[in-house]
Structure 1
Amino acid sequence: MLNIAYHPIYKHPLPEGHRFPMVKYELLPQQLLYEGTATPADFFEPGLPEMAAVLAIHTKEYVDSLMNLTLDARAARKTGFPLSAELVQRELIIAQGTILGAQRALQNGIAFNIAGGTHHAYSTHGEAFCLLNDQAIAAQYLLDKKLAKKILIVDLDVHQGNGTAEIFTGNPNVFTFSMHGKTNYPFKKETSDLDIALPDNTGDAEYLSILEETLPKLIETEKPDFVFYLSGVDILATDKLGKINCSVEGCKARDRFVLSLCHSKGIPVQCSMGGGYSPDIKTIIEAHANTYRTAAQLYL
C-alpha cells in the first residue's frame, strides 16, 4: 500500500487571489485515483495528534498562542495565513497525517502525506505558510517512542528547511540535509547538518549529479533507520517562487533516485509534498503525481 494521508480540511479556503495553490490538495488525490496509481484503500484520514507530540517540538507559549488564537498580528503576518481555528486544526491534522504515515512506513516501507513539508516552522514561530513542522514532529515522535534511532531528513524543496534546521540543531539522532536554491527564500539561512545551496538556473544534469554524489554517501555515513523526504516540486523551471531550472522529467528522476535508494537499502521513508507554485496547476499535479507513480513502481 502507498499509505496516503489525506483529509478534506487540507483544502481549507483562503481569501481569493491568495498565491498559495490550495486546490492541489483536492486535485492530486483525484488524479491518483483516476489514473489507477492509487486506490481508495491506499488513503487514510488522520485526526488530531496528541499535544505531547506537538509540544516535543514547538514551545508551549507558541502552541498556546495558536490554539487560543492569540498570536500577535506581526507573527501571524509572517506565516502568510490569516489565523483561524480551522487553519490551526488543519495544521494539527497535517502533523498527525505525517506521524501516522511514519508509523505505516515502518510496516510497509513507504507512506505519503498529500500536504505537509512545513519546514519553515520553527520551534517558536511559523513562517511562509508553515505553522507546525510536520516532519520534525513525526521524527521526534519516532525517537521518543523508540521506533527509530537515527533519522535522516532529505529536504529537496527549492527553499531551505530553515525551521527544521533550527529545531534539530545539536540533536545527534536527526541529520538534516537541505539542497535548495542559494538565492531563494529564506534570505537568511539557518545551518542544517548539510546544506547544498544551488546557483540560479541549475538544470537537471547538474542537479541530479550533485544529488547522486551526495545522498548515498550520507546514508552510508549516517546509517539512518528512517528517512523523511520533502519532495517539493518548486525546483521546476516554471515555478513562480523558485530559481532552479529543472524539468518535470528531471524532478521525476530526482524522486526515482531518492526512493530507489531508500527501497534498495530497506530504509522506511515518509514523503511530504512541500511546495509547488507553477502557474499551470496541471504542471504541479503532474510533478507531484510522478512521486506517487515512482513509489507504486517500486513498492507495489
Structure 2
Amino acid sequence: MDAFYADHFVLPLPEGHRFPISKYRLLRDGVAGAPGLNLLEAPAATDTQLLLAHDPVYVQKVITGTLEPKEQREIGFPWTPGMVERSRRSVGATIAACQSAVRDGIAVNLAGGTHHAYRDKGSGFCVFNDAAVAARVMQRQSAHGFNVAIIDLDVHQGNGTAAIFKNDASVFTLSLHGDKNFPFRKEPSDLDVPLADGVSDEAYLEALDAALEQLNKVFTPDLLIYLAGADPHEGDRLGRLKLTHAGMLKRDQRVFEYSRALSVPLAISMAGGYGHDIETTVAVHRQTVLEALSFSQSLTFI
C-alpha cells in the first residue's frame, strides 16, 4: 500500500503555535518499516490542478503572499514560501493517493484533510482543499462520468468541501461532526450528521452505520475519499466527543468494509487531531494507517 508524506517540507510556525505540526513527522516515523507499506514523497499539486477547485484570484494571492491580513488570520498560519509548498504537497499527496487507490484498491495521505478551505478562501488551518482538488483531478482524468463520495469523519464539519460541491450531483459529501463545535456556521453537506458533545463509541458507530446505509441508497461512487480525523477521540482537547481507541478502530473498519462491499477504491487522509498528548493523536492516526495496510493485503476486487 502506498502512503504519501510531506512532513519534510517544513511549515514554519512561531513558538507556541497550537497547530500540531510535529504529528506528521511522528506519524511517518511510527509507520516506517511496516511490511508492505511504501512510503513515497508527495508530489506538489500544480496551479492547473488547484484551479479545478479554487478561484484563480485566491490561488494567486496564496502563491504571491498577497492575502489580506484578515484572510491570513482566517487561515491561521503566517505566510511563508514554506506554507505554500507544504500546502501544495498536502494536496498532491491526496491526488497521488487517489490515483494509487484506483490502481491498488487503497492508499493513504499521511497528512491532508484540509476541509475548511473554500473555493475562494482558506480557513481553520486549511489553505487548499485537498479532497476537493483530488476529486476534480480524478474526474478530469476519467474518460466517463466519475462519481466521488467524500466521507468526512473529522470532528469538525467539512464546511469548505460542502460549499465547493454544493448542487454538484457528481460528488456526495457526508459529514459526521460535533454539532456545537467549529465551524460555528455550517455549510449544508449532502448528508450531515450532527453529534452532541460527549457521544461515545456505541452511539457514534450507530450514527455512522445509518449514514453509510443512507449514502448507499442514494449514490453510486467510483471512488471514496475518507477523512480519518483523530479528533473524535476522547483524548482530543478540541473534539468534545468520547470515542475510545477501540471505537476509533471500529470506525475505520466500517469505512474500509463499506469500500469492500461496493468494490470501490478508497483514498484516506489523516485530517485533524489535537490531543492533550500528541502521542495519543499519533497513535490514533497510526492505527488508521496500519489497519488500512492490513485491509489492503486482503483486497482482491481491484
The interval holding the TM-score normalised by the smaller chain is: over 0.9
Residues 87-124 of structure 1: CA distance to partner in whole angstroms, max 9, x if unpaired? 01110111111111111100000111111000000000
In structure 2, C-alpha distance between the alignment counterparts of 1:117 and 1:103, rounded to whole Å: 17
Match of 2:244 in 1: 247
RMSD (Å) for aligned C-alpha atoms: 1.3
Equivalent residue in structure 1 for 2:86, among 86, 90, 104: 90
2:111 is the alignment partner of 1:115: yes
Q: Is the 8 A contact 1:240 1:277 kept in 2?
A: yes
**Paired residue secondary structure (1:271):** strand
**Paired residue secondary structure (2:8):** helix
**Paired residue secondary structure (2:100):** helix
Residues 157-213 of structure 1: CA distance to partner in whole angstroms, max 9, x if unpaired? 000000000000011100000010000000010010110100010000000011112
Match of 2:291 in 1: 294
The sequence identity of aligned pairs, in percent, is: 38
- How far 1:77 moved relative to its partner? 0.5
Q: Is the 8 A contact 2:12 2:82 kept in 1?
A: no
Equivalent residue in structure 1 for 2:72, among 65, 72, 76: 76
Consecutive unaligned residues in structure 2, runs of 5 or more: 298-302
Match of 1:19 in 2: 18
Residues 208-233 of structure 1: CA distance to partner in whole angstroms, max 9, x if unpaired? 01111220331243011100000001
Q: In structure 2, do the counterparts of structure 1 residues 128 and 246 end up closer, same or farther at CA, with 3 Å as the change threshold?
A: same
Match of 2:167 in 1: 170
Match of 1:215 in 2: 212
- How far 1:126 moved relative to its partner? 0.3
Residues 51-104 of structure 1: CA distance to partner in whole angstroms, max 9, x if unpaired? 111011110110010111000111101111001111011101111111111111
Q: Is the 8 A contact 1:216 1:261 kept in 2?
A: no
In structure 2, C-alpha distance between the alignment counterparts of 1:10 and 1:178, rounded to whole Å: 29
Equivalent residue in structure 2 for 1:231, among 228, 232, 236: 228
Match of 1:30 in 2: 29
Match of 1:53 in 2: 49
Q: Is the 8 A contact 1:263 1:298 kept in 2?
A: no
Residues 17-68 of structure 1: CA distance to partner in whole angstroms, max 9, x if unpaired? 111111111011111125x2554xx111123222111011110110010111
In structure 1, C-alpha distance between the alignment counterparts of 2:213 and 2:157, rounded to whole Å: 20
List aligned pairs for 1:153-168, cutoff 5 A: 153-168=150-165
- How far 1:11 moved relative to its partner? 4.6
2:67 partner letter = L
In structure 2, C-alpha distance between the alignment counterparts of 1:204 and 1:164, rounded to whole Å: 26
Match of 1:204 in 2: 201
Consecutive unaligned residues in structure 1, runs of 5 or more: none
